[in-house]
Amino acid sequence: MSYESPTIRPPSEWRSGLLRVTRGCNWNRCRFCGIYPHLGQPDYSIRPLEEIFDDIRLLAEKRPDIETLFLGDADPLSAGTKTMLRVLDEVKKQFDPTRITSYARFSTLYKLGIVELGTLAKAGLSRIHMGLESGDEKILIFQRKGQNAKMVRTVASWLKECDIELSVYVLLGLGGQERWQKHARETALLLNDIQPDYIRIRRLFVYPAAPDGSPPCPLSREISDGLFTEQSPEGTILELEMLLDLLEPMNAFFTCDHSNNYLNISGQLDTDKTEMLQEVRTFLSLPEKQRNQRYQRTGSGI
Ligand code: SF4
């Protein structure tokens, strides 16, 4: 019996017990993404329940003190509510968790509907991490994200009603140099509408060919054809400044919690927004040489 770990997890789940319900991504079409192929998981599948149960028991043997659990890979709820309920039930037989978190896609939750989400919440699902990426419809269509602002608003309101925390990722650079202001503005407006619990900032990483020979992410093609111009490091900071400036001081934790970010600011938007914005502006006022050193030091990665 060997334990199978999710391909990736959010940085905030470093202490959690990690459970793999599905493998890879059931969508796998976002133009900017190549994460699962890049990490050796190009295909999607739902793991057999017995395998998942074995992993839950193994985890319980090795780490009986686990307080929080995280479910992967990209969209475990795509396994269906019945499967998820059995997984959550087995988790609760073995642990007494204070939180059970999952990655998910807005479109999957939209298909499930509020009743099934309520059932999952009652069974213990308490936080969901999803890629919002952008609030701009044109960017979402171009990047083939498979979601739109209306769907995001609906799902976010269901999650609030079901008492499931919402943690969203925003991807700086997703509009390229062509559309960065629209990207920052529309994303801020959508976030102001949905008021998530967490806003996690990431920076676009254009996936190269994977070690197993899988091709680079489709966006590379648009870049080489001149249809998309990658955001500059300084432009990325200007996006961050505009986004933060337009966000309402809501009860949400804003964080750049990935090493790929040039600035690692974080804080509560309702109490720390001014300070965070000041941090960005102080950086922008540094001499060019110092700013460039930061950009070079940070580099690019996943
Ligand atoms: S961004 Fe998320 S939904 Fe899109 S292909 Fe990548 S893992 Fe799948």
Cα distance between residue 27 and residue 33, in whole Å: 11
**Predicted local distance difference test score (pLDDT) of residue 212:** 77
How distant, in Å, are the alpha carbons of 164, 180, 182 from that of 242? Answer: 29, 10, 10
Domain ranges of the chain: 11-298
Q: Which of 41-45, 75-79, 126-130, 167-171 has the lowest mean pLDDT?
A: 41-45
Q: In which band, very low, low, confident or very high, does the pLDDT at 65 lie, cut at 50, 70 and 90?
A: very high
Which protein residue has the closest C-alpha to ligand 1 atom 4? 30
- pLDDT for residue 276 is more than 70: yes
Question: Which of 148, 147, 166 has its CA nearest to residue 156?
Answer: 166
Average pLDDT over residues 210-229: 90
Residue in 9, 27, 170 to alter for ligand 1 test, most ligand atoms within 8 A of Cβ: 27
Instruction: Tell me which CATH code domain 11-298 carries.
Output: 3.20.20.70
Provide, rounded to the nearest whole percent, the portion of the chain with pLDDT above 70.
99
CA of 32 to the centre of ligand 1 (A): 9
Whether the pLDDT of residue 185 is over 70: the answer is: yes
Residue 302 is predicted with a pLDDT of 67
Q: What are the pLDDT digits (tens) for 68-125?
A: 999 999 999 999 999 999 999 999 999 999 999 999 999 999 999 999 999 999 999 9
Euclidean distance between CA atoms 284 and 291, whole angstroms: 7
pLDDT confidence of residue 39: 87
80 phi-psi bin (left φ>0, alpha ψ -120 to 50, beta other):
left
How many whole angstroms separate alpha carbon 73 and alpha carbon 19?
9
Q: Which atom of ligand 1 is nearest to the CA of 73?
A: 7
Strands (E), the chain: 17-20, 22-23, 45-46, 68-72, 99-104, 127-133, 165-172, 198-203, 253-255, 266-268
Q: Residue 26 CA: which ligand 1 atom is closest?
A: 8
Res 5: pLDDT: 93
**Per-residue pLDDT at 1:** 62
SS3 247: coil
The predicted model gives 256-282 an average pLDDT of: 96
- The amino acid occupying position 179 is R
Residue 189 has pLDDT above 70, yes or no: yes
Q: Which residues contact 285 (CB under 8 A, 6 or more apart)?
A: none
Pocket test for ligand 1, best of 9, 33, 141 (most atoms within 8 A of CB): 33
CA 25–ligand 1 middle distance (angstroms): 6
Ligand 1 centre to CA of 80 (Å) is 18
How many whole angstroms from 115 Cα to the centroid of ligand 1?
A: 25
Mutate to test the pocket of ligand 1, among 30, 108, 171 (most ligand atoms within 8 A of CB): 30
In the predicted structure, residue 22 carries a pLDDT above the cut 90:
yes
What is the overall mean pLDDT for the chain? 96
> Does the pLDDT of residue 28 top 80, yes or no?
yes
Q: In the structure encoding, which two tokens stand for residue 121, read together? A: 């919440």
Return the percentage of the chain with pLDDT > 90, whole number: 92
H or E element at residue 298: helix 288-298
Residue-wise burial string across 272-298, b where 16 or more C-beta atoms lie within 10 A, e elsewhere? bbeebbebbeebeeeeeeebeeeeeeb
| Euclidean distance between CA atoms 78 and 75, whole angstroms | 6
- For residue 300, pLDDT over 80 is answered with no
Nearest CA to ligand 1 atom 5: 28
What are the pocket residues of ligand 1 if the criterion is a CB atom closer than 6 Å to any ligand atom? 25, 27-30, 33, 35-36, 74, 105, 131
Determine the distance separating the centroid of ligand 1 and the alpha carbon of 33, expressed in angstroms: 6
Q: How far apart are CA 232 and CA 161, in angstroms?
A: 40
Residue 205 has pLDDT above 70, yes or no: yes
Residue 133, strand partner residues: 170
Q: Cα–Cα distance between 293 and 191 in angstroms, integer?
A: 32
Please report the pLDDT score of residue 299 as a whole number: 76
Per-residue confidence (pLDDT) for residue 136, from 0 to 100: 98
Pocket test for ligand 1, best of 26, 35, 132, 133 (most atoms within 8 A of CB): 35
Contact indicator for 260, 202 with CB cutoff of 8 Å: yes
Which residue is closest in CA terms to ligand 1's atom 6?
33
pLDDT at 199 > cutoff 80: yes
Q: List the single range of 109-118, 201-210, 261-270 with lowest mean pLDDT.
A: 201-210
What is the pLDDT, as a whole number, of residue 161? Answer: 98
